[in-house]
Amino acid sequence: MVKVTAHNKEEAENCPVRSVLTKVTAKWNLLILLTLEDGELRFGELKRAIGDVTQRVLTENLRLLERDGHLTRTVHPGPPLAVSYALTEQGFDLLRVLKPLVGWAAQNFGDISEARARAAE
């Protein structure tokens, strides 16, 4: 079993589950990775493809994914100035690992929804 217990901040920062997986499996980060699977997108295209994300939240999450090496940010000189994002090899590798989880979620959504409804009764 993977150790997930942390007794202090240093242990938490050095735990792969807490340090890496909590970031990449976060709602917006996973949706960004999935959206970029088919290729580079400009910021506006990415925002429209995801739909219900605010510009601020999208920007913050793109910065985190870029910082961790999952995607690249390219500034295209203008006018108008354009910024686009694309997955790195690391980003594609990560997506290959996460796609089975995404498939599992889609396959089991009906059962999970029913269980939630029963729990709410």
As a CATH number, domain 9-120 is: 1.10.10.10
Cα–Cα distance list, 27 to 18, 47, 63, 79, 120 (Å): 15, 14, 15, 33, 23
The SS3 of residue 85 is strand
Question: In the predicted model, is pLDDT for residue 106 greater than 80?
Answer: yes
Task: Provide the mean pLDDT of the chain.
Answer: 93
Total-model pTM: 0.86
Q: What are the structural domain ranges in the chain?
A: 9-120
Query: In the prediction, which pLDDT does 101 show?
Result: 92
The string of pLDDT tens digits covering residues 15-28 is: 888 888 888 888 89
The string of pLDDT tens digits covering residues 27-46 is: 899 999 999 999 999 999 99
